[in-house]
Structures are given as C-alpha cells and as structure tokens.
A and B are shown apart, each in its own frame.
Chain A
Amino acid sequence: MPDLAGQIRAAARELLAAGEVAAVLGFAPGPLPMTTRPFAARTPAEADRLTWNGFCVMNPANLLPEILAAVEPPRGPKDPPPEGPLPKVAVVATGCWSRNIVVQIQEGRVRRERLVILGIPSRGMIDRRKVLRRVGGREIRRVEEGAHELRVEGPGLHETIPRWEVVRDNCRTCVHPTPVVYDRLLAEPVERTGVDRYAQVAEIEAMTPEDRWAWFRREIAPCLRCYACRNVCPLCYCPTCFVDDSRPQWVGKSLDPADTALFHLLRAYHCAGRCTDCGACESACPMGIRLRLLTKKLEKDVLELFGTEAGLDPGAPLPLAAFRPDDPDEFLTAGPGGGAGPEGPPPREEEPA
C-alpha cells in the first residue's frame, strides 16, 4: 500500500513552497477515531497536518468554491476582479470527487485553470456505522487501518475486521475509482469491472408499491431535518434552498412525515444527472439514513433513459438541461409499468441541446 498521506504532504509542501498554489485542500485528523476534518493547508508547515485514510468521507469539492474565494486578494463587493490570473488551489480528488469537480466546472461554479487536482485512485472509504455495527455499538477508542484489515480497540474490545466488509456501499459499487481529471496522480490507477452497481436499487424496484412505500417511510423516519445531507453535498449550493422558500412554502419546517418525504424526494431529485455517488450525504447523516438509494435510483434512470453519467466530460451538457427529439415518452402510456421496472430503451448517444 503506498503511503498516500506522505505523498499528499510532499506534494502540498512542494506546491505551497513554490507558490504554485495558495492552499491545498485535503483532510486533517479528526478528534475521534474514524473521523477526519477537511483542512486547507496554506503554508508548507501546515502541509504536515494533512492526512489520508479510509475515513476521509466528506467530499472536499464542497468547500472548494469557498477556499477559492478565500485565497483571492480581498476586494469590495463592487470592485472589479484583479488583473491577471487568480491564485490556484490544489485539492485531493478520488474518482467520484473528480467527477464532482467536473460537474462544478460544467455548472460554472469553479474554473479548471484555478485548480491543481491531486488525483487519488480510491480503494474505497469506510462506513464507520458498519464498523460500529460489527462491534455491537461498543465504544471504539482506537482504530488502526491496515492494507486489508482494521484493528479496532475500545474498553474490553480488540477486534480485527476485514476492510472490504466495512467499505461504504457507494464505494463497493463504484466503477470509476480513478479520477477522470487530475494534474498529478498519486498512486497507480485502479480498474474495477464486473460490479453490479444497481443491485440495491433493483432490489427495491422489485418490491410492490406498498412495500416500497413502507420501505421509504421506514428509511426516512429517523430524519431530524438537520440538513447535513444537503449541506455536505457539493451540488447543493442554491443561495435559497427550496426548503427555505416561504411563498409558497414547499416543505413544512417541522417533523411531519409528508414534509420529510418531500424534502428527501426533492433533495435527491435536484441532484439528478449531477450526483456522482460520492456518498457524502449518507456518511454525514447523523441518523444513518441510506440517502444514496434515492440518488442512485436517479443515476440509474438517467443512464437508462438518456445514456449519460455525471461528471465524465467537462464539455458535455448536463442531462437535465438538454434533450433529444426522440427521448422516451414512457409516461404517455397509462397505468403501471414503465416506472420502477428495469425496462426502458437502451442507452444512446447524447446530442447537444
């Protein structure tokens, strides 16, 4: 296993010392085992605090626009941007994070020329809830991550867990572990094929509408409406979220089953054709709701209906801002079918809008 933390630190020191970038956005150790904290190193000395492990689950692309703005020379709200190129920011990026950056480039949120992307082919990040479940919810005071196993320690607790068993669901079904855009690649590219990435979705699709509704209600029942899923998502950057609209008020503010359902449906739907399944929403949820199942369903349908995947090509139009004259008209047929089933036309080439 390559020493990725060391490589990130070395690259960060070098880039910062040479003045090539104003900050390097990565991760610092968190306060507890199995936690990390997004961290932007701004000096070569600070670069030593950067780390890398299987618990880097938050998508750093989320903070990227903020860090890019923070390193610009200060100016008033009405002042013109300064002459010449603006300072660059380096960011660590796995496959899904790099695709997310591509979406942000497509949407005009960040500019490629201001980024130095430190590509990291991903081995899969760890779901700390899976680790907790493995030890029956007992307190974990120390975790050591090996190449293929985790050693977990706590009061009266010493266990070795095979790493792959506690890898997050999105990583286990990932087919793009290697970054699609990067300036430096810090490890050998990883290929993953033969993955049934929609198995979880297909399992739900196969249920009756009654069972699907029961599943959905059960899944979102613990929701606190803290909006961690929304705020951790790099794609959720609307200046006013639909949740905060008051005229009309689409979603009630308190815990009502209908309002919570609407929130989750609309949150997922707003990411359709843009979500790269980075799993940050699910990792951030304090209640352990499997939020990805909705976005994964949308990803599957976008691929099935429109033949595109998010974040693979910075030049391509976004699937929901484009169309083809012969897009499927499946909803024109009455009654059941068409909807949740696996049928649908085969993927076709995307035409520009």
Chain B
Amino acid sequence: MKLLRLPRQALADWLAALGRDAEVFGPKATAEGPALASLAPGETPDEAPGPPKAPLKTFFFPQPETLAVFSTRRDDPEAHVLRPPRLEAGRRVVLAGVRPCDARSVVLNALPFAGDPYFQARCGATVLIGAACAETCGTCFCRWTGGDPLGTEGLDLLLHPADGGDLLVEVLTAKGEGAAPEAGRPAAAADAEGLAARREASRRAAGRAPDPRPPLAAVDLLALHGAPFWGRVAEPCLNCGACTFLCPTCYCFDIQDETLRGRGRRIRYWDSCMFPLFTRHASGHNPRGAKFQRVRNRFLHKFRYFPDRYGPFSCVGCGRCIRECPVGIDVREVLREMLAFAGRGA
C-alpha cells in the first residue's frame, strides 16, 4: 500500500485531470447540506461532515437500469428479440469525497450482485476516492455495523487531512494506483506512523461502541420474528419508501417491460419492502399483508437474513433513514430493542 502527500491546492487540478476521460461526481455544498452532484473542473468535494443526501447506489444500481432493448414493430422480423445493452458503452465515473460508510455499501451490495453483469460493469468503470471522516454526525453509527470513519473497504484511494494543510492519499487498489495524483509525493515515514496511530485510536473508540452483530447472530430467529415490540415499532410507520430509497444498502428491485411507439426496454427499477405490492401474489394473497410485517422485514433483512447468508449487516450506519423518516423512526432504537430481546429471550 502506498501513501502520498498532496498539497491541498493540487486536489482541484488532480480531479480536473481525472475528469478529462471520466465524469467526476462528489458532494457539493447546498443550503441544506452536502448533496451528490457533478463536479466541474476546478471544483472539489464539500468537506462538511456526514454523507451527502443521495446514496451512492444511484451510480451502481441506477433507477432504472436498462437490462435489454427490443422492437415491437409488426414489420420487424426480429420483433420481441431481447438484446442486451452495450455495457462497455457505459461512462467512466470518478466518485470523489466518498465517505467510508458509502464506500462500504458498494462492497455489501456486491455480495447479492456478485453475478450481475450490470452492477459489475458499473463497478469496473468507477474509481472511488474516499474522504476520511474527521468528525461524525449525531446520526452516524458506522461502528455499530462493522464500519469505521477511517475505513478503506470499497475505496480505491482515501484522502486524509494532514499537517500544513496538505492531504495524505492512501492508494488502496490497482485502479487507485492508475488514478493516483501525479503531484503527490511519497509521504514521510512519520506520516504513515501518524495515520496508523489515528487508525488505532479509531479502533479503540470502536471498542466503546456497541457491536450488535454477535448477539443478533445468536438469537433464535423465530423468537425474534415473534418478538412483541414489532407492532409498537411499526405503529407510526407510513409504509412509504423514503428509508429504503435513501438507504445505500437497500437493493431490492422489480423488473418490467416498457413499450412505446414500436420500441421496448426491459428495466430494473428500485422497489421497496415497505410497499404492499412488493410481496403480493398473483392470487391476491399477500404474505406480508400487514404493516408491521413489512416493517419487521426491513429490519430483520438488514440485521438477520442478510448476515445469515453473507456475513455482515446490510447496513453501513450512515443515518440517512433516521434523518429523513417522516415519522421519526430510528433504526438505532430498533437495534436496541432487538438487542434487549436477544439478551432476554435467547
């Protein structure tokens, strides 16, 4: 692993150079806080703490993804023949100012999408440049879910603030190596030691945060499923999709064909387990017909079904769902309820 020292004023030039054969995106300051936007040459990512409003999945799991195109013209001998879109025609993207929690969401989503050519093609065409979190927000809880404010998972490069107003650039992957700044000089040994010390301090701080993963993995699933608190948790819920659509790790989708004036496309678009239609059978029966069942599914999927299958939680602790829930449902509170139940019932 390589560590470079980059003068802060060289950041804009570096991103502009990367922007010559890729589109550069990053958090931009707005009146309501940072928001993901296209960065023009000369612009640098906003450094306000916390993740921007939009989740990173919009780049890897776009709304919608065209899976195939076809013709519906009667005079076309190849009508209704599905043709895959040209994946290599996908644009090259540089994502700058990515918070470690968001970068981790790409790694987590890659688990269910391991064999998905669309997701993988977009990952391959994207360089992720992280921004280590010097401060965290009141809604940040990445350490609870296995993340770290200085974490490197999913990133190609990670920037840290350094003394003298410089930046330290951690080069983490071969792709990162290819995109590393030319103006960056190898960092001194003291820089590497300082960074290691910061990491260690962060890890020690993690020891103080609750780690709900082991107790939740151990609790009896059926008992947790039947726990008495789900009705209470769900009562204020509106069953809207604000939490799932803003969540960087919610990846549920539906597929549909759209046809219009002789052309058609098969699209994959975001769906939400909060919507009754999500599980309604063709017969009309809905195995998750009640609101509390849908709310329960959202949390059990994130904290039990997903870990049972893939290992980690399907949550990176970014806090977006807490901030934007119209009725103030807090995932940390639900986790505490689940933990309390695990301690009592298991």
Contact = CB atoms under 8 A, between A and B. Distances in A.
Nearest to A286: B324
B254 A253 contact: yes
A50 to B, nearest CB: 13
B63 A227 contact: no
A132 B31 contact: yes
B246 A224 contact: yes
B322 to A, nearest CB: 6
Interface in A187-234: 224-228, 230-232
Interface in B218-246: 235-236, 238-242, 244-246
A133 interface: yes
A62 B326 CA distance: 13
B256 A226 contact: no
A63 interface: yes
Contacts of A31: 322, 328-330, 332-333
Contacts of B332: 31
Interface stretch (A3-11, A111-119, A136-144, A164-172): A136-144
B29 interface: yes
B34 A137 contact: yes
Interface stretch (B13-21, B131-139, B152-160): B131-139
A23 to B, nearest CB: 10
A30 B240 contact: no
Given A137-B29, A254-B63, A254-B64, A227 B235 contact: no
A155 interface: yes
B241 A63 contact: no
B48 A137 contact: yes
- Most chain A beta-carbon contacts within 10 A, residue among B63, B236, B322, B323: B236
B327 interface: yes
B239 to A, nearest CB: 6
Interface string A255-275: 100000000000000000000
* Chain B contact residues, majority secondary structure: loop
Contact of B277 (A30, A244, A288): A244
A36 interface: yes
Contacts of B63: 224, 254-255
Contacts of A133: 31-32
Interface residues of A, number: 39
B272 interface: yes
Nearest to A255: B63
B283 interface: no
Nearest to B271: A253
A253 B267 CA distance: 10
A129 interface: yes
Interface stretch (A37-45, A307-315, A320-328, A333-341): A37-45
A227 B241 contact: yes
Given A58-B327, A137-B33, A252-B258, A226 B236 contact: no
Contacts of A30: 328, 330
A104 interface: no
A254 B267 contact: yes
B236 A63 contact: yes
A283 interface: yes
A37 B245 contact: no
Contacts of A96: none
A202 B226 CA distance: 54
B138 A232 contact: no
B305 to A, nearest CB: 22
B151 interface: no
B30 A226 contact: no
A79 to B, nearest CB: 18
Contact of A58 (B246, B323, B324, B326): B326
B269 interface: yes
B49 interface: yes
Nearest to A36: B328
Interface string B77-107: 0000000000000000000000000000000
3 closest residue pairs by CB, A with B: A30-B328, A137-B33, A31-B330
Given A133-B31, A138-B33, 5 more contacts: A62-B238, A255-B63, A286-B245, A286-B326, A288-B32
Interface of B: 29-34, 48-50, 53, 63-64, 135, 137-139, 235-236, 238-242, 244-246, 254, 256, 258, 267, 269-270, 272, 275, 277, 291, 322-330, 332-333
26 contacts: A30-B330, A31-B330, A32-B323, A32-B328, A35-B328, A36-B328, A132-B31, A137-B29, A137-B30, A138-B48, A139-B33, A139-B48, A155-B135, A224-B241, A226-B240, A226-B272, A228-B238, A228-B240, A228-B326, A230-B240, A231-B238, A254-B256, A283-B326, A284-B238, A284-B240, A286-B326
Interface of A: 30-32, 35-40, 58, 62-63, 66, 129, 132-133, 136-139, 141, 155, 224-228, 230-232, 244, 252-255, 283-284, 286, 288
